[in-house]
């Protein structure tokens, strides 16, 4: 379950980076969004393929980095898109990761 949540988050983060490039011409958004999305997708794959702890830590670190980056930007001037959306999604994923610290019992 947590693996799928992280995968959806990864897709949304990567799509946000692409959207930032298309709408504002921001190459930094494209690069950061795609790299963060790929890292989260890798974490999701690890979560689902038996390397739970490695996937958990990778997903946690990327989620915290995204939350910190957009949280700091929100202190300078809050905008719902993309900052607010990334903050909301990051808090949801962070809570899910912290609640599912150990692999689910099968």
Q: Please give the backbone phi and psi of residue 31, each rounded to the nearest 5 degrees, phi first.
A: -65, -50
Query: Does some domain include residue 104?
Result: no
Mean pLDDT is lowest, of 28-37, 56-65, 66-75, for 66-75
Q: pLDDT digits over 20-48, tens only?
A: 999 999 899 999 999 999 999 999 999 99
Q: Given this model, what pLDDT does residue 12 score?
A: 96
Q: What total of structural domains would you count in the chain?
A: 1
Q: How confident is the model at residue 106 (pLDDT cuts 50, 70, 90)?
A: low
pLDDT higher than threshold 80 for residue 79? no
pLDDT higher than threshold 70 for residue 8? yes
Concatenated DSSP letters for 5-47?
HHHHHHHHHHHHHHHHHHHH--HHHHHHHHHHHHHHHHHHHHH
Residues in Cβ contact with 78 at an 8 Å cutoff, skipping those fewer than 6 apart? 84
Query: Does some domain include residue 45?
Result: yes
Domain with residue 76: its CATH number is: 1.20.1440
- Using CA atoms, how far apart are residues 59 and 6, in angstroms rounded to an integer? 7
Residue 42 belongs to domain spanning: 2-99
Query: What is the pLDDT averaged over residues 81-90?
Result: 87
Query: Does some domain include residue 106?
Result: no
């Amino acid at each position: 379950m947590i693996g799928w949540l992280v995968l959806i988050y990864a897709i949304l983060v990567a799509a946000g980076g692409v959207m930032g490039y298309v709408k504002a011409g921001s190459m930094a958004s494209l690069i950061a969004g795609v790299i963060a999305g790929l890292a989260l997708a890798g974490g999701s794959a690890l979560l689902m393929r038996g390397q739970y702890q490695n996937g958990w830590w990778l997903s946690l670190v990327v989620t915290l980095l995204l939350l910190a980056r957009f949280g700091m930007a929100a202190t300078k001037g809050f905008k719902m898109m993309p900052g607010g959306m990334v903050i909301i999604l990051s808090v949801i994923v962070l809570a899910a990761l912290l609640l599912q610290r150990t692999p689910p019992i099968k």
